[in-house]
């Protein structure tokens, strides 16, 4: 028999993670310009369709199929999820000894991860990338980058990053946040800045949308981190507690930094700090003590604040909604801090953090795992960009006319606010 408690827990966690992509649509939609809010939100919703289909067709098999003999790729044996239902029925009277819940639950849980990861990328290209090109890129990316990377980190024995290198990633520091944030950075560099970037200030058009989206993300993140234990046990409880306190610390820290830097704490800043705190604890949620989660949340906000407020201006890239500044930078920091704060007894590899053991081997593994992730993501991203750009006639970007008028009307024929007749500043 399966563990019915853990099965119910994983079903709930799966539904919570599925909430995150619509939540991100509101978060990004509120941050976007008024003339682009439909386009910005639709990119997130379209990801649900594209990634959901591709995950069933091939993504699950690429990530978790095969016999584990390849360190960088799952296999082709579960394309289309063929055989999973007959396998489930045949297991009705003979459940595998190590099975806590049906494998079909994991398919859906991991699909939700793939969806939110791809949706994060869209924030960097808001307001200027052709809608069809976004979907084409995301479709290829989810199969070529995300699925193999998930195998390399979470594929078990023989996986390149999780086993061979020995890097820890509890719920997606490498797989979700670094991969999506760095991909967003690459796309923003390829596309160039929005019209007027560096000359005008872009302000969120709907702050309540931002708060609503942040709240939905916060809710979903408990399934995201807690469910990554894959059982209703004490480690899942620890992961959920750490999720709460790191996000709380990140929010509080951001308000302080914003007050010092600009003189006025803001609701958008509070929401951004909340998300940054969630991001940084993701790779460490089930590995660290609560005091360490507090430290991680307090540290991440000033780091991400500087990345968003100073790094973009210094290097001139237009990461429109700060996917890299929040997710990429926060994920990088979280991966490194895991190597400092990991409790040895909770580690999947048996290696503890530097502060517990005095041994830097886990920290070295964390850094090496991050470097390998960066190398894989950057190289494959550039290849996919070149292929998609060629398929779209050499340009990923909308025309100057469409960009000025707004993508809601020009790309989708609808407006979030039909009574509004002017152009955004």
Structure tokens at 132: 């069809």
Q: How far is CA 390 from the centre of its chain?
A: 27
- The burial of 215, by beta-carbon neighbours within 10 Å (0-12 exposed, 13-18 middle, 19 or more buried), is given as middle
Superfamily of domain covering 4-412: Ammonium transporter AmtB like domains (1.10.3430.10)
- What is residue 279's predicted lDDT score, i.e. its pLDDT? 98
Q: What is the DSSP letter of 273?
A: H
Find where tokens 């797989």 sit.
Answer: 175
- What is residue 424's predicted lDDT score, i.e. its pLDDT? 55
- The burial of 296, by beta-carbon neighbours within 10 Å (0-12 exposed, 13-18 middle, 19 or more buried), is given as buried
- What is residue 67's predicted lDDT score, i.e. its pLDDT? 87
- Residues 6 or more apart from 394 whose CB is under 8 A from it? none
Which run of H or of E encompasses 321? none
- Residues 6 or more apart from 141 whose CB is under 8 A from it? 118, 121, 183, 380, 381, 384
Mean pLDDT of each 10-residue bin along the chain, 425 residues long: 91 97 98 96 98 98 92 94 76 65 93 98 97 98 98 95 97 97 98 85 92 98 97 97 98 98 96 98 98 98 96 92 97 98 97 97 98 98 98 96 96 86 53
Rama region for 299: left / alpha / beta (φ>0; ψ in -120 to 50; rest):
alpha
Of the CA atoms within 13 Å of residue 32, those in its CB half-sphere come to 29
- Spans of all domains in the chain: 4-412
Radius of gyration of the chain (CA): 21
Give this prediction's pTM: 0.95
Structure tokens at 376: 């894989």
- What is residue 9's predicted lDDT score, i.e. its pLDDT? 97
Structure tokens at 343: 């409790």
Find where tokens 């997130």 sit.
Answer: 44
């Amino acid at each position: 028999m399966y563990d019915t408690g853990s099965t119910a827990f994983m079903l709930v966690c799966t539904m919570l993670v599925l909430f995150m992509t619509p939540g991100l649509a509101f978060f990004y939609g509120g941050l976007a310009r008024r003339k682009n809010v439909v386009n910005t939100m639709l990119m997130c919703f379209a990801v649900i369709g594209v990634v959901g289909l591709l995950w069933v067709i091939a993504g699950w098999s690429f990530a978790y199929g095969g016999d584990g003999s390849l360190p960088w790729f799952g296999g082709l044996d579960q394309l289309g999820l063929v055989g999973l239902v007959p396998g489930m029925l045949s297991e009705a009277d003979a459940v595998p000894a190590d099975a806590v819940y049906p494998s079909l639950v994991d398919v859906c849980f991991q699909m939700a991860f793939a969806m939110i990861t791809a949706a994060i990328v869209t924030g960097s290209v808001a307001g200027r990338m052709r809608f069809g090109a976004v979907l084409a890129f995301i479709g290829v990316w989810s199969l070529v980058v995300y699925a193999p990377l998930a195998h390399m980190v979470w594929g078990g024995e023989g996986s390149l990053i999780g086993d061979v290198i020995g890097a820890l990633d509890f719920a997606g520091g490498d797989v979700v946040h670094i991969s999506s944030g760095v991909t967003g950075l690459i796309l923003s560099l390829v596309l160039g800045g929005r019209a007027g970037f560096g000359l005008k200030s872009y302000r969120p058009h709907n702050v309540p949308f931002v708060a609503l989206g942040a709240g939905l993300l916060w809710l979903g993140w408990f399934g995201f981190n807690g469910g990554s234990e894959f059982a209703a046990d004490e480690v899942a409880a620890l992961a959920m507690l750490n999720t709460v306190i790191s996000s709380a610390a990140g929010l509080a820290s951001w308000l302080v930094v914003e007050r010092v830097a600009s003189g006025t704490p803001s609701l958008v800043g509070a929401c951004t700090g909340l998300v940054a705190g969630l991001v940084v604890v993701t790779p460490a949620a089930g590995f660290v003590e609560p005091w360490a989660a507090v430290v991680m949340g307090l540290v991440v906000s000033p780091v991400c604040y500087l990345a968003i407020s100073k790094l973009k201006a210094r290097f001139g890239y237009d990461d429109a909604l700060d996917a890299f500044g929040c997710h990429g930078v926060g994920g990088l920091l979280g991966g490194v801090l895991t190597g400092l704060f990991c409790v040895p007894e909770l580690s999947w590899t048996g290696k503890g953090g530097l502060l517990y053991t005095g041994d830097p081997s886990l920290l070295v593994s964390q850094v090496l795992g991050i470097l390998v992730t960066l190398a894989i993501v950057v190289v494959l991203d550039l290849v996919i960009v070149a292929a998609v750009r060629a398929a779209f006639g050499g340009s990923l970007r909308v025309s100057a006319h469409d960009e000025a008028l707004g993508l809601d009307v020009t790309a989708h024929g609808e407006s979030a606010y039909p009574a509004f007749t002017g152009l955004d500043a």
